[in-house]
Amino acid sequence: MRNITKDITLTIDGSPQGFRLTKPDAFSGVEILRLLLRLQDRWEAVRRDGSNVLDLITSLSRDELRSVMTSCLNHTEVLLPAGPHPVMTGSEWGYPELKHDTISCMKLVLEEITWALEGFFGDGGPDSLPADATTSRPSARTSTSSSSSR
């Protein structure tokens, strides 16, 4: 069974706080990936010129940035003693304590993106083709073949 949640801890105001990341559904994941791939040229320039990563963020329109952040934070829960609670629900803050905590929100967004797209790229990281881009899943073919031969 595929693991779709991951628990992490951030230090907020000097205290550890647990969060649970949930992998986005396929459509949301592809939206995030599409935006990141569109920014690939800018990312390469940042790495080559030694520019600041903030230059990359400024490449996003306000709507693109809000879309990526909202999507990621909608897939994140804060782990409270009473149980997990959504950080955001739609465009509304479910955990308002983070509303004005830019650093913690950015850390959560970066963790979510990194984990959500984990394994998509080959060993070469974002500069390489997706790991399974040119191969099909043999198990799917095998099961189809065996059922048609009966």
Count CB-CB contacts under 10 A for residue 93.
15
Q: Tell me the two tokens of residue 43.
A: 């990312």
pLDDT tens digits, one per residue of 55-83: 667 778 888 889 889 989 999 999 999 99
Return the domain boundaries, the chain: 5-118
pLDDT tens digits, one per residue of 76-132: 999 999 999 999 999 999 999 999 999 999 899 888 888 887 766 544 444 444 444
Q: Tell me the two tokens of residue 56.
A: 């990359």
What is the DSSP track for 82-124? TEEEESEETTEESSGGGTT-HHHHHHHHHHHHHHHTTTTB-TT
Global confidence as pTM:
0.71
